[in-house]
A and B are shown apart, each in its own frame.
Chain A
Amino acid sequence: MIWLAWRQHRKQALFTALGLVVLAALMLPTGLAMRQSFADKGLDDCVRALGRASLIAADADTCGRLFTEFNNQYNAMSMIGVLFLVLPLLMGLFWGAPLVAREIEHGTHRMVWTQGISRRHWALVKCGVVGAGTLAAAVGCGLGMSWWLTPISQAGQHGRFSTFFFDMQGIAPVGYTLFTVALGVFAGTVWPKVLPAMAATLVGFVGLRIALTTLVRPHYLPAETLTFPVKGATVQTNPAAGDWVVSYGIRDASGTMLTPNAQIACPPDATGPGADCGASLGIPGDAHNWQLYQPGDRFWLFQGIETAIFVALAALLLYVAVRRILRLA
């Protein structure tokens, strides 16, 4: 049976492998170049000095200028990363959806399911082989992207915890990939034609991902808040902390939000333009900066939760799909 699964999917496996090799050929040199330039600018030491605390002393950010320099140089790079957001979806569309749907569309299920093995056996081997292949690809992509994105994240351009960048690295893509493949298999048992199964996979995956990312992920753990004064600020937020800032703004002494999505910090005895610390914008002197955030050290915990949710959904979908396969004819 493993021979059959391999024979049926070898061409597809070859194309997938080729695609991944092309991606690696793109990512490896650029990743190395970014790391080289990061090190050449002395940013490694700088980042180490900043530490991972959410707040640092106001005069501690000595990396700012170098960060800007680095980010200007590799501004467009992070756009390449977006490609990796759709990779799990492609796996589901081209590996998951046709698995059952194509057999039924071509009627070949009646040939293969009347040989000497049970349909359950057939389904488990097919899903196992396809699952193992896509799993290997997803692990490679996820960990590879973690490596590739590290300088961009450390330079504060896009923290690894922020939406989209969280989704394309670590183990989360593994969860997404297993989920879309399972969703594709399941869709094929409900709409036993390749195109409708692919469409259902697309809609289901994008819908669930958006819903979970925007509505559920911020609440995996209660977010924390931090505050620091606007006037006479001796601290500032740490660009290297890797926190996921859910929302922030300036609140007055009673806690009422004055200006959302803004942050002002004037050092004591400030002079020059801006020294009024927003007084001209109507921000009183006793106002404070406020930030709701998920601390950066929760990154792997959140990755684990996200992955567990999608793997659990994948297992559920596969279970239902195999049960449905036993009803098809």
Chain B
Amino acid sequence: MDVVLETDQLGKRYGRAWALRDCSLRLPAGRFAALVGPNGAGKSTLLHMAVGLLRPDAGTVRVFGQAPYDSTAVLAEIGFVAQDTPLYRDFTADELFTTGAKLNRRFDTALARDRLGQIGIPRDKPVGKLSGGQRAQVALALAMAKRPRLLLLDEPVASIDPLARREFLHALTGVVAETGTTVLLSSHILADLERTCDFLIVVHASQTKLVGGVDELRGEHRQLIGPRHASPPAAGIAQVVRTSHTDRSTTLLVRTNGPIHDRAWQSHEVTLEDLILAYLADDDLGAGRTHVGWGVSA
């Protein structure tokens, strides 16, 4: 299994506060990975270290086996769409593609132009005059024209409307399917990710809480519903991730390490959303977060 991105005890500090700490993960090639967590959890910091904008203060990060900081070799293999899809607003899309062609050894201008042509975005208009969704599409086209082996996107859809968001993700899954590029996309909007991602990284309060393939993760987690304050089943549970109570019953979200046979508890499959929320709520900071606060319904 090829590993595209690998971090080991990775940490970044601003002054005395750690923006990210003890982050260890391996992202296999060909995956569409979602990096989830609330604002300020350390998602951008992780991405910025992965694309070489930031130098780690602790641990290591490797992209295709190389340290990305200040490395043009790594830059040549990655595409990055930063938060709020920044572009020179007085440039037209064509001028941005010219910029890309001048600054990269490998750059497929025709590909970028075709992509915009397909979705009907004018290439001769300053991108500052385009809508947010269109601008995000230009930024995606610019990043994909590098023909990157790893595409990283930092909250690309956070500031655009739901329809444009869906179109953007549709376009993204389309190009990923065509090219086989590995994707790491950060977001705090859970609903969008359920359909698109097959790998999950949950960060919260500067730490990685959960890393793994979506199917594997869903396979090894179970939601158990049983009588209020009953003791959890004795066998098959590796970790109780979250406990919640209603008047009559208790709901557990558990990570299993074997089959659960306990008649007092009903076992259910977990949704991706349940899983993410359970891991985000397992400490003080996450307690009390609601779906609404997470923008799930958006």
Residues of chain A whose beta carbon lies under 8 Å from any beta carbon of chain B: 1, 3-4, 7-8, 11, 106-108, 110-120, 326-329
The answer to whether A4 and B48 have CB atoms under 8 Å apart is no
Considering the chains assembled together, what is the distance between the CA atoms of A110 and B142 in angstroms?
13
Residues of B close to A327: CB separation below 8 A: 55
Which of A4, A108, A329 sits near B53, CB closer than 8 Å?
Answer: A329
CB pair B88 A8 closer than 8 Å: yes
| Cα A110 to Cα B85 with chains together (Å) | 9
Q: Which residues of B contact A113 (CB under 8 A)?
A: 53
Assess whether B75 is in contact with A111, with CB atoms less than 8 Å apart: no
B52 cross-chain contacts in A, Cβ below 8 A:
114
**Known A110-B80, A329-B48: A4·B102 in contact at CB below 8 Å:** yes
**Complex contact A329–B103 (CB within 8 A):** no
Contact A111 B91 (CB under 8 A): no
What are the 8 A-B residue pairs with the smallest beta carbon separation, nearest first? A110-B82, A107-B86, A116-B104, A115-B103, A329-B53, A114-B80, A329-B54, A108-B86
Q: Which secondary structure characterizes the binding site on chain B?
A: loop
Interface residues of B in 74-106 (CB under 8 A from A): 75-76, 78, 80, 82-84, 86-91, 95, 98-100, 102-106
Q: Say whether, besides A115-B100, A116-B72, A110 and B88 are in contact (CB < 8 Å).
A: no
Q: How far is the CB of A187 from chain B (nearest CB, A)?
A: 21
State which of A111, A118, A326 has its C-beta within 8 Å of the C-beta of B82.
A111
**B190 CB, min distance to chain A CBs, angstroms:** 25
A117 and B103 in contact, given A110-B53, A111-B82, A329-B48 (Cβ under 8 angstroms): yes
Does A106 contact B89, Cβ atoms closer than 8 Å?
Answer: yes
Assuming A116-B105, A117-B72, is B99 touching A7 (CB within 8 A)? yes
Residue count of chain B within 8 Å CB distance of chain A? 34
- Alpha-carbon gap, A202 to B25, bound state (A): 47
Instruction: Given A7-B91, A110-B53, verify A116-B84 contact (CB < 8 Å).
Output: no
B95, A107: Cβ atoms closer than 8 Å: no
Question: Is B70's CB under 8 angstroms from A111's CB?
Answer: no
Residues of the A chain whose Cβ atoms lie less than 8 Å from the Cβ of B88: 8, 108, 111
Which residues of A have CB within 8 Å of B86? Answer: 106-108, 110-111
B87-143, CB < 8 A from A: 87-91, 95, 98-100, 102-107, 139, 142
CB distance from B253 to the nearest CB of A (A): 35
Contact of A4 with B78 at beta-carbon distance under 8 Å, contacts A113-B53, A116-B72, A116-B146 already known: no
Q: For A116, what are the chain B residues with a Cβ–Cβ distance below 8 Å?
A: 72, 75-76, 103-107, 146
Q: What CA separation (Å) do A118 and B103 show in the bound complex?
A: 10
Complex: A108 Cα to B85 Cα, angstroms: 9
CA distance A116 to B90 in the complex (A): 22
Bound: A326/B54 CA distance, A? 8
Contact assessment for A118 and B84 in the assembled complex, using a CB-CB cutoff below 8 Å: no
- B90, B102, B106: the one contacting A1 at CB < 8 Å is B102
Q: B270 CB to closest chain A CB, in angstroms?
A: 35
19 additional A-B pairs beyond A4-B103, A112-B103, A116-B75, beta carbons within 8 Å, are A11-B90, A107-B84, A108-B88, A111-B80, A111-B82, A111-B86, A111-B88, A111-B139, A114-B53, A115-B100, A115-B103, A115-B104, A116-B107, A116-B146, A118-B70, A119-B70, A326-B70, A327-B55, A329-B53
User: Which residues of chain A have C-beta atoms less than 8 A from B84's C-beta?
Assistant: 107
Tell me the bound Cα distance from A328 to B52 in angstroms.
11
Interchain CA distance A140-B191 in the complex, whole Å: 61
In the complex the two chains form, is A3's CB within 8 Å of B53's CB? no
When distances are taken between beta carbons in the complex, the residues of chain B under 8 Å from A7 are: 91, 95, 99
State whether B87 touches A111 (Cβ < 8 A).
yes
**A to B CB contacts below 8 Å, 26 in the list:** A3-B99, A3-B102, A4-B103, A7-B91, A7-B95, A107-B83, A107-B84, A107-B86, A110-B83, A110-B86, A111-B87, A114-B52, A114-B53, A114-B75, A114-B80, A115-B99, A115-B104, A116-B75, A116-B103, A117-B75, A117-B103, A119-B70, A120-B70, A326-B70, A329-B48, A329-B53
